Amino acid sequence: MTVGNTTTQRSADATATGAAVEIDQVAVRFRTKKKDVTALRDVSVRIEPGEFVAIVGASGCGKSTLLKLVSGLLRPSSGQVRLHGEDVRGPRRDIGYVFQRAALLDWRTARRNILLQAEMRGMPRAQARQRVDELIAMTGLTGFEDAYPNELSGGMQQRVALCRALLHRPPVLLMDEPFGALDALTREQMNVELRRIWRETGTTVLLVTHSIAEAVYLANRVIVMTPRPGTVAEVIDVDLPVERDYGQTMSAPEFARATGRIRDLLGATTTAE
């Protein structure tokens, strides 16, 4: 599963194909009225197909910016981003995106919110409907298909957003703090379900999160970022079994090691300021 390359910041000329996502010496600079801000500098990451990679770091370190780069919603100031070996030049259709807020359309039921993806892409209707049924069953939304977003809890709304992101079977799923607005208990349940869904779909997942526990439980590798200007501090390989029971994982020595290391890194980088 994980192709164990702890040294992800390898040489820039790594044109090796086969990577799901390749971020190569990327920098992002914003120009505001007062000054130029460097959001990201010298970021190089390589993600293999089917990997689950989490990105953690202090607020404002450019984690979300990284996802926007991969999706093509934002262009790097320098460097290159490649998706399946192709240069990312504009918004990509071969990804699924989940935001912190579910961003559902209030006037559509859960099912029709999921179908929006199919409508925009012009997918055949019958095929889309069948796929929606599959996803609703997979994410535990059965019985809530015809509810409007304002009738759904935060957790259910986020499930709808996840279904919508998975509808077209994207090879890469980008998640920007998807569970950040949920209560702790719901969040744990969603973690368990996301892990299961990832294993069922085999999608490559890039997850931005503030929760170290969430990152380590879910991911094969955790990218730890430094504060602004953000760059990769270290990539942690999570050496936990594929089958991860939530309770057991929390008390596993490897879990303690990985979370401890990340905490050290994040703490060290903040006190170094």
Partner 1 sequence: MAAQSTIEQPERTAPAGATASATRRPGGAGAGLLRFARNTWRPAAVLAAILVVWWLVTAADLVKPYLVPSPGTTLDVVLAQPGYFAHHTWITTYETVLGFAIAIVVGVLSAVVMVYSPTVEKSLYPLLLFAQVIPKIAIAPLFIVWLGFGLSPKVVVAVLMAFFPIVISTVTGMKSIDPEMLQLSATMGAGPAQTFRKIRFPAALPHLFAGLKVAATMAVTGAVVGEFVGANEGLGYVILQANGNLDTPTLFAGLIIMSLLGVLLFVVVELLEYLVLPWQASRRTDATTTTL
Selected from 49, 154, 180, 229, the binder of partner 1 by CB under 8 A is 154
- Report d(CA 149, CA 156) in Å as an integer: 9
Residues 39 and 65: beta-carbon distance below 8 Å: yes
Nearer to partner 1 among residue 149 and residue 227 (C-beta): 149
Selected from 151, 239, 245, 264, the binder of partner 1 by CB under 8 A is 151
- Report d(CA 30, CA 218) in Å as an integer: 32
Identity of residue 246: Y
Selected from 107, 184, 200, 247, the binder of partner 1 by CB under 8 A is 107
Selected from 2, 77, 80, 101, the binder of partner 1 by CB under 8 A is 101
Selected from 86, 87, 133, 146, the binder of partner 1 by CB under 8 A is 146
Closest contact distance (angstroms) between CB of 173 and partner 1 is 11
Site for partner 1 in 55-94 (CB under 8 A): 71-73, 91-93
Residue 95 touches partner 1, criterion: CB under 8 A: yes
Residue 181 touches partner 1, criterion: CB under 8 A: no
Mark the segment that binds partner 1 (CB under 8 A) among 47-55, 111-119, 216-224, 257-265: 111-119
- Total of chain residues touching partner 1, rule CB under 8 A: 44
Mark the segment that binds partner 1 (CB under 8 A) among 34-42, 55-63, 97-105, 198-206: 97-105
Selected from 11, 150, 251, 271, the binder of partner 1 by CB under 8 A is 150
Length of the chain as a residue count: 273
| Residue 93 in tokens | 């259709």
Q: How far is CA 151 from each of CA 57, 114, 182, rounded to the nearest angstrom?
A: 34, 16, 16
Nearer to partner 1 among residue 15 and residue 248 (C-beta): 248
Residue 184 touches partner 1, criterion: CB under 8 A: no
| Residue 250 in tokens | 């929390």
What's the alpha-carbon Rg for the chain, to the nearest Å? 19
- Mark residues 248-267: x for contact with partner 1 by CB under 8 A, - for none: --------------------
- Report d(CA 174, CA 207) in Å as an integer: 6
Nearer to partner 1 among residue 141 and residue 222 (C-beta): 141
- Report d(CA 38, CA 27) in Å as an integer: 8
Q: What is 138-177 written as a DSSP string?
A: HTT-TT-TT--GGGS-HHHHHHHHHHHHHTT--SEEEEES
| Residue 148 in tokens | 């409007």
H-state helical runs in the chain: 63-71, 110-121, 125-138, 154-166, 184-201, 212-218, 246-251, 253-271
Closest contact distance (angstroms) between CB of 14 and partner 1 is 27
Applying CB under 8 A, the residues found at the interface with partner 1 are 71-73, 91-93, 95-97, 99, 101, 103, 105-107, 116-117, 119-121, 140-144, 146-148, 150-156, 159, 182-183, 185-186, 189-190, 192-193
